[in-house]
Amino acid sequence: MTSEVIEKFRQDIGSVFSTTEERMLARKSRDFHWYSPVLTPQLQHYLADVVVQPQTEQEIAAISAAAAKRCIPITVRGGGTGNYGQSVPLRGGIVLDMTRFNQVNSVESGSIRIQAGAIIKTALTAALGTGQQLMMYPSTLQSATIGGYLGGGFAGIGSVRHGVIRDSGMIQSLKVMTIEENPEILTLSGDDVGLVFHSWGTTGIILEAQLRLVPAETWIDCIATFPTYGETIAFGNAAFASDLDLFLLSAVEKRFAPFYKRTRAYFDGTRDAMFSMVNEKDVDAFFALAAEFNGVRSMAVSETERANANLRAIHETAFNHTTLMALQVDRSWTYLQVVMPDPFEPDLAEAQLERFGDEALMHHEYTKEHGRPRIGGLPLIKFSTEERLNEIMRSFEADGCIINNPHIFKLEDGGRFDADGRKMAFRKRVDPMGLLNPGKLRSID
Ligand SMILES: Cc1cc2nc3c(=O)[nH]c(=O)nc-3n(C[C@H](O)[C@H](O)[C@H](O)COP(=O)(O)OP(=O)(O)OC[C@H]3O[C@@H](n4cnc5c(N)ncnc54)[C@H](O)[C@@H]3O)c2cc1C
């Protein structure tokens, strides 16, 4: 974009906050793709030409209209915690930072309506204030936005109870703005919310989400430890199949202990562990079941006890926070995303552990899909070369695992984009000039 076009755009949007200050452009052009030594050299140099931070629907409409008039790319951004460069502006242009568009519009029995730029914790707090809670949230709840989670996320804390986002019924409706000189606002509900979910901001600007709420429960942060990783997985499978009310089941092998500094008293590297959030009524039954697999009760703390003891919240030790804790200690690790075969036999966990030796540390998250366990492996991988990373992926596949490669930045390569072509048709409808997040769609860019 020439600076002249950008200046004209800034004049068009009048009083809407915009900046071309270099540090801000750099900061808002990055996300967590640095987890990947493959993506980092490919994406780190891209830069927006201008960052805008609207506060109202009218301001977002002014940005959309001016971008369409001047044919400037728009990359929508929430908290910038995506791992695949989803909010990196590959063609420069506008980064539309939604974080000042962040109001809770209403909380009713069974649902919340909230602006897309609100931090997820804001939604959870508002729901808890009415005796309700979100069905799930990512471990980045304190920094990620509602729009970013729906645009870029997949599952999270709560997915073992309610399923992954797409089949959980969590998204009741979405308000979406088109990119046109006269922008429209569309309201999607039912199956149509899938046109925008996990589209990386390529199928419209999410303005507002209506999310289903469920009655709030008291969750206890629990750690059970086991002599072997196979027994940890065998317990996880049994716990999933039981009547226990669980909000998180996150298995890590003992070699993760050096990264879990604030829980060292409970996970010291001598035994493998299941990190869980358990309904307070089921805590004793949870540990009784663990005992059947030689598990022992290591920790069970309420939110208050945890805060008083300055322990890290269990939900911030799971999903990609586990990876983050390792990277904070040693940047030579990277990771993979692996869907384990169903059923996931403990023997396979042990065999993979042995096969990869010091090159991979095992971590599995239990989620649910169509009522069945969907166990996601997020193994840490000691990075050497891209070729070796690819070999490791093929080795997992040979075991019947499915790889969702986190070292890619094209939406289709993640394997969940547009099976029936409806998303692409919708994209043409909402963004006829193809200005949204260009460069992310292999089929058209
Ligand atoms: C430590 C760590 C832990 C994580 N844990 C989880 C987890 O438990 N579960 C999970 O699913 N993911 C997880 N992630 C990935 C990521 O945090 C989540 O997907 C998160 O919800 C993204 O929100 P965000 O606001 O940061 O989005 P961003 O990174 O800003 O954006 C993500 C995508 O959504 C698009 N987008 C943002 N806002 C809008 C909008 N208003 N309208 C349309 N599109 C929009 C962007 O263009 C981008 O393509 C984790 C990442 C890290 C670094």
Cβ–Cβ under 8 Å, residues 205 and 249: no
Percent of the chain with pLDDT over 70: 100
Q: Is the CB of 317 under 6 A from ligand 1?
A: no
CATH architecture label of 219-403: 3-Layer(aba) Sandwich (3.40)
Q: State if residue 148 touches ligand 1 by the CB under 6 angstroms criterion.
A: yes
Neighbouring C-alpha atoms within 13 Å toward the C-beta of 269: 8
pLDDT at 416: 66
Query: Beta partners for 205?
Result: 177
Cβ–ligand 1 distance for 426 under 6 Å, the answer: no
pTM: 0.97
**Domain range 104-216, its CATH number among 3.40.50.12780, 3.30.465.10, 1.10.1740.10, 3.30.70.580:** 3.30.465.10
Question: 316-346, pLDDT tens digit by residue?
Answer: 999 999 999 999 999 999 999 999 999 999 9
Residue nearest to atom 21 of ligand 1 (CA): 149
Cα of 24 vs centre of ligand 1, distance in Å, is: 19
Domain boundaries, the chain: 104-216, 219-403
Pairing of strands 94-97, 74-77: parallel
> What was the pLDDT predicted at 443?
81
**Per-residue pLDDT at 231:** 98
Residue 221 — φ and ψ, nearest 5°?
-75, 120
Give the number of the atom of ligand 1 that is nearest the alpha carbon of residue 155.
11
Q: Which of 77, 247, 404 to mutate for ligand 1's pocket (most ligand atoms within 8 Å of CB)?
A: 77
**Distance separating alpha carbons of residues 427 and 184, to the nearest angstrom:** 14
pLDDT of res. 356: 97
Given a contact cutoff of 8 angstroms between Cβ atoms, the answer to whether 437 and 200 are in contact is yes
The confidence score (pLDDT) of residue 417 equals: 76
Q: What is the mean pLDDT of each run of 10 residues along the chain (445 residues)?
A: 94 98 97 96 97 98 98 98 96 98 98 98 98 98 98 97 95 98 98 96 98 98 98 98 98 97 94 98 98 98 95 95 96 97 97 97 97 96 97 98 96 80 95 96 84
Name residue, tokens 């936005």.
145
